[in-house]
Amino acid sequence: VATPRDAEIRKDVQTYYGQVLKKSADLQTNACVTAARPVPQHIREALQNVHEEVSLRYYGCGLVIPECLENCWILDLGSGSGRDCYALSQLVGEKGHVTGIDMTEGQVEVANKYIEYHMGKYGFQAPNVTFIRGYIEKLEEAGIKNESYDIVISNCVINLVPDKQQVLQEVYRVLKHGGELYFSDVYASLELPEEIRTHKVLWGECLGGALYWKDLSILAKKIGFCPPRLVTASFITVQNKELENVIGDCRFVSATFRLFKLPKTGPTQKCQVIYNGGITGHEKELIFDANFTFKKDEAVEVDEETVAILKNSRFAQGFLIGPDGEKLPTCGAYTALEVKVTAPRHVGSSWIRDQTHDPAVAGGCLSTREVPKQ
């Protein structure tokens, strides 16, 4: 049951995104601006095909377009004017489907206005995208069934919801086994004090409701997800004197995480895997997260948790997975195992990057490196 304070926050957020803001440039901080990072060509093209009015009202803080999307069913939490949904609808193809859910009427209206435009542009006979007005912490009320989606995405929205546990629980319910939540959001370096949490502009600008970064792992574990895998992170610079004074020493990052829901299977062991290069747009290498980059045909030893993810998710088709504890035959140009100790990319924050060095979070595969033998 939403408390009176939760209801007031929803009303304020709806006014902010439905009436106050008309375009990305109206934001008062740079929290909701996607950090610069190399975007694969096929994603760039998909984003360029999105209608200008939809793109102008984009308020996301990261790139929420994961890999291996053909025929997937995707749910976008807080889809706004629909920019990510329309890019994804092209990438999942006509046999896939994208559902966007948002509580703000004005946002859903803009999103709905351009369904025909995009389907015509992509040459699809029937629309593969639907927009619903509803609350992301009440997906059941919005008619979203158990285990019905392969991927749930969200771009700068969960921070705006007071009850984050309820949102993540609902995501867990609607994801298929092997599915993932791939989402960008804002995280705080401290547990936020009352004066930041109750500041209306800071809340609306996606800072006041930011989760203390350590709490994400705690929540994920409580609900049953695998430990979060960090993909990218970058600092948010507020660039607004008045707001900086309220924020004080607290620092914020925008970070993209993957959270997998795996079927309950027996324990796995670390083993070698080889990426086959078969994922569209990632033929040479697959940057899976800040720790793992899989190059085509290269054997990589991965920890138990990564084995479980690769075996039980849609990524299974892209990998040759060795028997538990054994080495795979030599492959491609490499004659021996190379365990990649990939430096986190595009990660601008040591306090959030450190999380990936926690064996409880990223697995224990970060300390070995064997040089390829000749």
Ligand X SMILES: C[S@@+](CC[C@H](N)C(=O)[O-])C[C@H]1O[C@@H](n2cnc3c(N)ncnc32)[C@H](O)[C@@H]1O
Q: Which residues bind ligand X (CB under 6 A)?
A: 13, 17, 32, 58-60, 78-80, 83-84, 102-104, 107, 135-137, 155-157, 160-161, 206
E-strand ranges in 18-82 read 73-77
Task: Tell me how far apart the 2 most distant CA atoms of the chain are, in Å.
Answer: 67
Shortest distance in whole angstroms from residue 320 CB to ligand X: 36
Q: Helix 83-92 vs helix 115-122: angle between axes, to the nearest 10 degrees?
A: 30
Shortest distance in whole angstroms from residue 59 CB to ligand X: 4
Cβ atoms of 240 and 200 closer than 8 Å = no
Shortest distance in whole angstroms from residue 78 CB to ligand X: 3
Nearer to ligand X, 60 or 96 (CB): 60
- Nearest to residue 32, comparing CAs of 40, 41, 23? 23
Number of H helices, E strands in the chain: 14, 13
Nearer to ligand X, 111 or 271 (CB): 111
Q: What angle do CA 151, 131, 1 make, to 5 degrees?
A: 80
Nearer to ligand X, 49 or 293 (CB): 49
Nearer to ligand X, 56 or 331 (CB): 56
Nearer to ligand X, 107 or 312 (CB): 107
- For residue 41, what are the CA distances in angstroms to 47, 90, 282? 10, 14, 10
Shortest distance in whole angstroms from residue 213 CB to ligand X: 19
- Nearest to residue 29, comparing CAs of 190, 182, 195, 199? 199
Shortest distance in whole angstroms from residue 168 CB to ligand X: 13
Shortest distance in whole angstroms from residue 335 CB to ligand X: 45
Nearer to ligand X, 46 or 300 (CB): 46
Shortest distance in whole angstroms from residue 134 CB to ligand X: 7
Question: 63-74 burial, b if ≥16 CB within 10 A, otherwise e?
Answer: bbbbbbbeebbb
Cβ atoms of 124 and 94 closer than 8 Å = yes
Burial class of 247 by CB neighbour count within 10 A (0 to 12, 13 to 18, 19+) = buried
> How many CB atoms within 10 Å of residue 167?
24
Nearer to ligand X, 79 or 90 (CB): 79
